[in-house]
Chain A
Amino acid sequence: MATGDKSDQGNLHSALVALQEVVRRAAAASRFQAHSEERLLQLIVDATVSLFAAQSASVALFERDPDRLEFRVAGGAQSTGVVGISVAPTDGVVGYVFSTGESLALSDIAADPRFDRAVAERIGYVPGSVAAVPLVSEDQVVGVLEVFDKNTNESFNVRDMELLAAFAAQAGAAIAGTRVQHDLPVLLASSLRQIVPDMSDDQVRELVSTATKDLDVERDRPFWALVDQVSSLRDLGEEELELVGDILGVVATHQTHRGRSGGR
């Protein structure tokens, strides 16, 4: 790169500003997407509980740093307190299904003192039977769908396993369809390398770090609070949405006028 060239530096600065804008918008988009993914998973979990007439069902997804299976959604009468719990990816039935990508059902597990005891005690519910299937997205296991205790007290049979696998296929497709890669620096770095293939690793690293420097800090700022609010409004009906749009429009117009009259 030419050194001390003013137009080059000017271009670089504009590029950096543009990059920062992209990063902000991508971060906003990922917050939107995160909600829709969870809504879809909740639908599937609730349908699972209903179809199997079961006490509880849950979805755990694999998360990194630290590597863990985090319970993201749960449904059914015995589902309180499950969401938010994390287990190691090698723990219990859910760990086995995640590690192998194979389906598994166990009954008579109350008799086994070692079965997922930590989770069971935390939520105050020790299941008698469980069926678990892997969630597969793009040929990778990304999580586990579990269902516990049919109300009839019957154990899960082979047809139940196949039906559960069909539900898991839907969940896997949902994850593939809605998940924007959460790790923005990684996404950004790979995009940069595609656009400018001969950029060195150090240059990529520096650009990405500059662009994402203040992103976490902004997480609690009013802007992000607004993004979250808007995202949660999507369940409103048409009339309510129009009303919200009108209110936002009034506020925006008011701000513009204040800006023009020099006030702040």
Chain B
Amino acid sequence: MPTAEELPAWTEPFAESTRGRLARLPALEAIDREWAWGGSTGAGVTVGIVDSGVEADHPQIAGRVVESLAVELREGEPSVIQDTGTDLFGHGTACAGIIVGMAPDVELVSMRVLGSDLKGKGAAFAAGLEHLIRRPVQVANLSLSSKSEALLPVFHGLADEAYFRRVVLVSAVNNVLGPSYPSLFSSVISVAAHSESDPWRFYYNPNPPVEFGARGLNVPVAWRGGGLTVGTGNSFAAPHITALVALILSKHPGLAPFEVKAVLAAVANNERPG
């Protein structure tokens, strides 16, 4: 009878003498919001914001930005550089404000992938996402997706890399039909908007491609220039889920992305059978 040490490596975790280490989550029925994020403020979690930039001195952002980065094209090749803490449009700041409002102690890393010089947008987006995955951040909020069929393998590879490095990717789904990478990939948490006003209310949808519905109607948001506005759209729903992921990971560090999804599904506001 071979000993645990003589078995091939893949089967090692399941050997009788070692599988005691496998205890992780309680049964899903036992998971409630108190277990998931009760008492959590997001401390210790770094959130990446892939967007138009984040206005670091905006009152709603409250100094949570620890790094401002941008993608620059040099002779057609993208590279990540230090950026000023400004927002080209306002959208990145809006997403950051939603996240900070629900998880006030997170640290934010802004990755600006939009700009007048970024004509090869897909490549810039991929480069920025790759940098955050390897930095790493614990969760990244993606407010855009690439429409390029040619970049499918690149984003598929990045989604897998994120998954195995335990970086959770949260992405808004796009209303326009067609290629949408990486939001359509299975390991990415895809989010659309519902019409209710409670930021803590969200739903799990077992029929993909959109998996979660969160608040996205008339959301009061921060905007460029220290301003405020009211926004509607799937891209304002995604940061609500990003915030919940940050709260979960703060309380339960090291959860795998599939466990994070399972926890979200377990505590969603779906009506329960029976």
Contacts and interface: CB of A to CB of B under 8 A. Distances in A.
A228 interface: no
A155 B218 contact: yes
Interface in A231-262: none
A104 interface: yes
B116 A139 contact: no
A106 B218 CA distance: 8
Contacts of A136: 147, 176, 178
Nearest to A158: B193
Given A112-B227, A114-B227, A139-B148, A155 B175 contact: no
Interface in B202-236: 216-218, 223-225, 227-235
A175 to B, nearest CB: 14
A151 interface: no
Contacts of A161: 175, 232-233
A133 interface: yes
A166 to B, nearest CB: 9
B185 interface: no
A106 B147 CA distance: 24
B46 interface: no
Interface string A89-124: 110100110011111111111011111000000000
A96 B148 CA distance: 18
Contacts of A155: 218, 230, 232
A141 interface: yes
Given A90-B115, A101-B174, A107 B121 contact: no
A101 B91 contact: no
B116 A89 contact: yes
B89 interface: yes
A102 B51 CA distance: 11
B234 A103 contact: yes
Contacts of B228: 108, 111-112
Contacts of A174: none
B121 A99 contact: yes
Interface residues of A, number: 39
B44 interface: no
Q: Give the size category of B's interface with A.
A: 35 or more
Contacts of A107: 218, 229-230, 232
B179 A106 contact: no
A85 B194 CA distance: 35
A168 interface: yes
Interface in B148-189: 148-149, 172, 174-179
B174 A156 contact: no
Nearest to B220: A108
Contacts of B194: 158
Given A133-B176, A158-B217, A102 B235 contact: yes
A111 B226 CA distance: 12
B144 to A, nearest CB: 4
B138 interface: no
A101 B225 contact: no
A44 to B, nearest CB: 15
Interface in B88-114: 88-91, 114
B52 interface: yes
Contacts of A169: 176-177
Contact of A108 (B114, B229, B234): B229
Contacts of B115: 90
Given A100-B143, A101-B144, A133-B175, 14 more contacts: A90-B114, A96-B90, A96-B91, A99-B89, A101-B176, A102-B144, A106-B232, A107-B218, A112-B229, A140-B147, A161-B175, A161-B232, A165-B175, A165-B176
Interface of B: 52, 88-91, 114-116, 121, 143-145, 147-149, 172, 174-179, 193-195, 216-218, 223-225, 227-235
3 A-B pairs with least C-beta separation: A165-B175, A105-B232, A100-B144
Interface of A: 67, 88-90, 92, 95-96, 99-109, 111-115, 131, 133-134, 136, 139-141, 155-158, 161-162, 165, 168-169
17 contacts: A89-B116, A96-B90, A96-B91, A99-B52, A100-B52, A101-B144, A101-B176, A102-B235, A103-B234, A104-B233, A108-B228, A112-B223, A112-B227, A114-B225, A139-B147, A157-B195, A169-B177
